């Protein structure tokens, strides 16, 4: 069985490592190339986009892929849509590895919004010093908020010509621990965090830190995912694959 794992997440790397040792499976892990120095999964790896749905369809056919596993970031909506459409066109099985979103606890102070534009609207009246933890691609949505100071955490620099909010860029890559996150929030006098609801453990420490320090979180909801078979973790994806090998 030849499988293509669309990755870029810790879950994708773990899955690639797990299936590399399973007899009867040949896996190829695909990275979009969005970061300069990605952590490379175990086994066969390709880096770069496919060129939309048609490019992915061609790749699946040319490489005789039997199964497509979408283990991309929960906010990589376009890639997931392309994967669903391409798998259907080629006529192969597709599995979405979609870790559960974080759930608001009674002691959390969240304002949930649908997108980055609405997050920026909320900040206009609710924040002065913001920890912006959404990566580099959407920071321009906050650049017009001149009266707010932003601490912006990202892995790579913004693209040349990007509009950048007033503040400081902090280059770092998770996972982050609770003490580190609390120290950042206190050191920079942060009163609000802006976060995507990514789920998982790698960046959840900032949510715990906000809870313990009484800091508001503007939480951006996930985009909808394509219909189809879905599991919540790597273990579920491995079991799903083993069932198909057995059949």
Average pLDDT, the chain: 92
Q: Comparing 129 with 41, which gets the higher pLDDT?
A: 129
pLDDT at 247: 63
pLDDT at 36 over 70: no
Mean pLDDT of 30-55: 73
> Any idea which architecture 110-220 has in CATH?
3-Layer(aba) Sandwich (3.40)
Helix, strand, or coil (residue 124): helix
Say whether pLDDT at 81 is over 70.
yes
Q: In the sheet where 229-231 sits, what is the strand order?
A: 44-47, 26-31, 2-6, 67-70, 93-97, 229-231
Confidence of residue 229 (pLDDT cuts 50, 70, 90): very high
User: Helix, strand or coil for residue 170?
Assistant: strand
Q: What is the pLDDT of residues 183-224, one digit of tens each?
A: 999 999 999 999 999 999 889 999 999 999 999 999 999 999
C-alpha distances in angstroms, 48 versus 29, 34, 45, 77?
11, 8, 10, 17
Q: Which fold has domain 2-99+224-246?
A: Rossmann fold (3.40.50)
- Looking at residue 216, what is its pLDDT? 98
Per-residue model confidence (pLDDT) at position 85? 97
Q: What is the mean pLDDT of residues 18-44?
A: 75
Q: Is the pLDDT of residue 47 over 90?
A: no
Asked if residue 152 lies in contact with residue 132, where contact means CB atoms within 8 angstroms, the answer is: yes
27: closest CA among 47, 6, 49, 11?
Answer: 6
The pLDDT, as a whole number, for residue 42 is 59
Q: What is the pLDDT of residues 123-169, one digit of tens each?
A: 998 899 999 999 998 999 999 999 999 999 998 899 898 999 999 99
Give the separation between CA 142 and CA 163, rounded to whole angstroms: 9
pLDDT at residue 43 above 70? no
Beta strands in 51-128 (DSSP E): 67-70, 93-97, 110-113
**Which residues of the chain are in CATH 3.40.50.720 domains?**
2-99+224-246, 110-220
Give the rounded percent of residues in the chain with a pLDDT score beyond 90: 74
Is residue 193 within 8 Å of 217, Cβ to Cβ? Answer: yes
């Amino acid at each position: 069985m030849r499988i293509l794992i669309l990755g870029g997440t810790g879950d994708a790397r773990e899955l690639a490592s797990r299936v590399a040792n399973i007899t009867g499976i040949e896996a190829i892990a695909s990275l979009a190339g969005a970061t300069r120095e990605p952590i490379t999964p175990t086994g066969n790896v390709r880096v770069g986009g496919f060129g939309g749905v048609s490019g992915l369809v061609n790749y699946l056919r040319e490489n005789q892929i039997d199964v497509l596993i979408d283990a991309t970031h929960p906010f990589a909506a376009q890639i997931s849509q392309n994967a669903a459409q391409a798998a259907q066109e080629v006529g192969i099985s597709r599995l979405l590895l979609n870790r559960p979103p974080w759930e608001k606890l009674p002691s959390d102070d969240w304002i949930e919004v649908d997108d980055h534009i609405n997050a920026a609207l909320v900040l206009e009246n609710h924040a002065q010093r913001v920890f912006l933890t959404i990566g580099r691609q959407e920071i321009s949505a906050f650049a017009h908020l001149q009266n707010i100071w932003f601490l912006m955490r990202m892995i790579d620099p913004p693209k040349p010509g990007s509009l950048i909010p007033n503040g400081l860029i902090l280059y770092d890559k998770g996972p982050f621990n609770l003490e580190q996150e609390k120290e950042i929030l206190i050191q920079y006098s942060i009163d609000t965090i802006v976060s995507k609801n990514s789920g998982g453990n790698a960046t959840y420490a900032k949510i715990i830190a906000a809870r313990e320090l009484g800091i508001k979180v503007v939480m951006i909801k996930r985009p909808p995912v394509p219909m189809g078979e879905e599991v919540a973790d790597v273990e579920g994806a491995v079991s799903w694959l083993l069932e198909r090998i057995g059949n």
